[in-house]
Structures are given as structure tokens and as C-alpha cells.
Amino acid sequence: MLEDKLDGLSRNKGLWLAFVIGFSVRLIPELLSFPHPIGWDTIYYAYRIEDGVLFGFWDNIFSSWMLYAILMFFGDLIQLEPFMLLKIVAPLLYGGTSTAIYFVASNKLNWNVTKSLLASVLFTFSLAALAISWQFYRNLFGVMVLLFAIPLIKNNLSWKETGILSLLGLLISWGHELSTISLFFIIFVSIFLSAIRKERIPLRLFVALITALCILWQFLFNISIRCSISNQPSLVT
């Protein structure tokens, strides 16, 4: 039976299978629409790749610039036309997110390979997920990294896992703002539940949050400064 064959796979092979399924499903619309782009925001991503300017101001380092940097790097490296590059990147991001779903099911929920793959496949064929993947690449990138970080949110966190979670938190902060807020929410809920159950408070989670918290605080501070400046009355009459 198919279930027996899937359960016979190792977790690593299941991980690769989840990626291949997600990548292949998302590649189909890109091939069907070739050479035209999919989604409105895709045009803006292509413009950013072509423009090649990552930071307009120094404080942009505290914004969600990571995906733009990756796109510009590979755009310069392989010298592909921006829309062609995005036709490759979009399936890669979707495949990566499908893999992250499998990773959470397998490592956080301790599901077997079959159930983990089923969760990944359900996500892959979800119309909502596919609609987001048409053009919201930063959202997809942030969610993907966030999902890989979730299994590390636990009470018995080692210092090595603390370092990895800290790095992932930094990538999430530079990936997308909503994913950053989601990360803080998940961690604080985890700490709150530990306190209610009178379990040991995982203090290393606070250590892992430091980098992401610094980026988020500075980002919000910059927004507040710009809003206050824009609300000041003009001196020109």
C-alpha cells in the first residue's frame, strides 16, 4: 500500500519529497503563463532587482530587506532577466514552505512520514496558499523561515538551539513584519503556558529573542519618527 511505502521513507527523504511536490505544483502556473509574470507585486520585485539599490537610507537595515538582497544577489550572479528569475524563485519559495510544513509536522508534532506529507500536500494544494504565492514573496519567505523556527520553541532549549533560533529570528525580522510579530506571539504564548502549568520558564527563549527584538524595536521607532514628521504642520504657506 502507498501508506506503507511512505512510512518506509526516512524523514529526510520525506522532506525532499515535500519540497518536490510543492515546487512542481507552483511551477505549473509559471510555465503556463510564460513569458508573462503572475501577480501585481511581481512587477515591483522585478523593478527592485533591476534597480539594484538595496538600502535607500542607512536605517533601512532595520526593515524587511532580506528577500530583496537574495533576489539582487542571484540576479547579478546568473544574469537572468528579472521576470525569469522570479519565475524560478516563486516555485522555490513555495516548495520551501511546503517543506517547512512537513518539518513542523514531523519535528514539532512528531507525526510519521505519511501524516507529515499529507499536511504538506494539503497546504500545497490550498487555494489560499497558492493565491499568496502568486505575488507576496516576502510574506511567503517570512512564513517559511517562521515554520522552520517553530520546532525550536520549547522549554528544554539547548544553547546550540538558542543560537539557531536567534539566527532564524533575525532572518524572520528581515523577512517580513507580520512573521516577526507572529514569532513573538508564539514565544510569549509558550512562556505564558509554561507559567500557568508551573513549569520551568524557558529563559533561553528570551535570549533567542534579543536580535529579533532589536530589529523590530528599531523598525517601529523609525516608523513613529516618520509619522511624527509627516504630521507636523508645514512652514510653507
Which tens digit of pLDDT belongs to each residue from 46-89?
A: 888 888 766 655 556 656 778 888 888 888 888 888 889 889 99
pLDDT in tens, 180-225: 888 888 888 888 888 888 777 777 777 777 777 666 666 565 556 5
Q: What is the pLDDT of residue 44?
A: 84
Most confident of 5-14, 71-80, 114-123: 114-123
For the four alpha carbons of 163, 192, 145 and 154, in that order, the dihedral sign comes to positive
pTM of the model: 0.83
What does each C-alpha distance from 201 to 107, 161, 195, 196, 221 come to in angstroms?
22, 16, 6, 10, 29
Q: What is the pLDDT of residue 234?
A: 45
Q: What is the pLDDT of residue 133?
A: 83
For the stretch 172-193, what's the b/e string if a residue is b when 16 or more beta carbons lie within 10 angstroms of its beta carbon? Answer: bbbbbbebbebbbeebeebbee
Q: What is the pLDDT of residue 49?
A: 82
pLDDT in tens, 129-176: 888 888 789 989 999 999 999 998 887 878 888 888 888 888 888 888
pLDDT in tens, 23-34: 999 999 988 988
Does residue 122 surpass a pLDDT of 90? Answer: yes
Query: In this structure, how many other beta carbons lie within 10 angstroms of the beta carbon of residue 154?
Result: 16
Query: In this structure, how many other beta carbons lie within 10 angstroms of the beta carbon of residue 11?
Result: 13
Q: What is the pLDDT of residue 131?
A: 85
Burial class (CB in 10 A: 0-12, 13-18, 19+), 71: buried
Q: At what angle do helices 82-107 and 11-32 cross, to 10 degrees?
A: 150
What does each C-alpha distance from 206 to 165, 185, 189, 202 come to in angstroms?
11, 13, 13, 8
